[in-house]
Amino acid sequence: MDFNDTAEEAAYRAQVRAWLEANAPRSVATSTDPLEDSTDLKAARAWQRKKAEAGYACITWPKAWGGGGGASWQSVIFGQEEAKFPNPGNPFAIGLGMCVPTVMTAGNDADKERFVKPAVLGEEIWCQLFSEPSGGSDAAAARTRAVLDGDTWTINGQKVWTSGAHYSDFGLLLARTDPDVPKHKGLTMFWIDMKDPAVEVRPIHQMSGASNFNEVYFTDLKIKDSQRVGGVGEGWRVALITLMNERLSVGGGGSGSGHARVLKLASDISTLAGPAAKDAGLREKIADWFVQAEGLKYTTFRTMTALSRGQTPGPESSIGKVVSASLMQDMANTALELEDQFGIISDPAMAPLAAAFQSALMGAPGMRIAGGTDEILRNIIAERVLGLPQDVRLDKVVAFKDIPSGR
Distance in Å, CB of 94 to other proteins, minimum: 26
DSSP string, 213-276: EEEEEEEEEEEEGGGB-S-TT-HHHHHHHHHHHHHHS-----STTHHHHHHHHHHT-EETTEEG
Contact call for residues 72 and 78 (beta carbons, < 8 A): no
- Return the residue of 25, 251, 295, 365 that touches other proteins, per CB under 8 A: 295
Q: How far is the CB of 231 from other proteins (least distance, A)?
A: 32
DSSP string, 219-237: EEEEEEGGGB-S-TT-HHH
Least separation in angstroms between CB 5 and other proteins: 8
65-70: which pairs have CB atoms within 8 A and are 24 or more residues apart? 65/104, 65/112, 65/116, 65/117, 65/120, 66/116, 66/117, 66/120, 66/121, 67/120
Taking the complex as a whole, how short is the minimal distance between the CB of residue 32 and other proteins, in angstroms?
Answer: 21
> 348: how many CB neighbours lie within 10 A of its CB?
13
Is 222 one of the binding residues for other proteins (CB under 8 A)? no
Residue 347 or 391 with smaller CB distance to other proteins = 391
**Contact call for residues 45 and 122 (beta carbons, < 8 A):** yes
**Beta-bridge partner residues of 146:** 155
Instruction: Between 238 and 296, name the residue whose CB sits nearer to other proteins.
Output: 296
| 132 beta partners | 135
Binding mask 342-381 toward other proteins (x if CB under 8 A, else -) reads ---------------------------------x-xxx-x
122, 259, 358, 367: which one binds other proteins (CB under 8 A) = 259
Nearer to other proteins, 381 or 399 (CB): 381
Least distance to other proteins, CB of residue 42, Å: 34
CA distances from 172 to 32, 168, 193 (A): 30, 11, 9
Residue 312 makes contact with other proteins by CB under 8 A = no
Q: Is 247 in the site for other proteins (CB under 8 A)?
A: no
For other proteins, the binding residue among 8, 53, 123, 402 (CB under 8 A) is: 8
| Shortest distance, position 189 Cβ to other proteins, whole Å | 30
Contacts of 67 (CB under 8 A, 6+ apart): 55, 57, 58, 59, 60, 61, 120
Distance between CA atoms of 9 and 281, rounded to whole angstroms?
Answer: 42
**Per CB under 8 A, does 284 bind other proteins?**
yes
Structural contact between residues 85 and 29, judged by C-beta atoms closer than 8 angstroms:
no
How many degrees, rounded to 5, is the angle at CA 125 between CA 123 and CA 130?
A: 160
Largest pairwise CA distance in the chain: 77
Tell me if 73 contacts other proteins by CB under 8 A.
yes
Residue 113 binds other proteins (CB under 8 A): no
Candidates 291, 350, 354, 398; binder of other proteins (CB under 8 A) is: 291
Minimum distance between the CB of residue 89 and other proteins, rounded to whole angstroms? 27
Q: Is 273 in the site for other proteins (CB under 8 A)?
A: no
Calpha distance 229→238 (Å, rounded): 8
Residue numbers 180-219 binding other proteins by CB under 8 A:
none
Using CB under 8 A as the binding rule, whether residue 274 contacts other proteins is answered as no
Of 40, 200, 316, 330, the one binding other proteins (CB under 8 A) is 316
The residue ranges that bind other proteins (CB under 8 A) are 1, 3-6, 8-9, 73, 76, 259-260, 263-264, 277, 280, 283-284, 286-288, 290-292, 294-299, 301-302, 304-309, 316, 319, 322-323, 375, 377-379, 381-383, 385-392
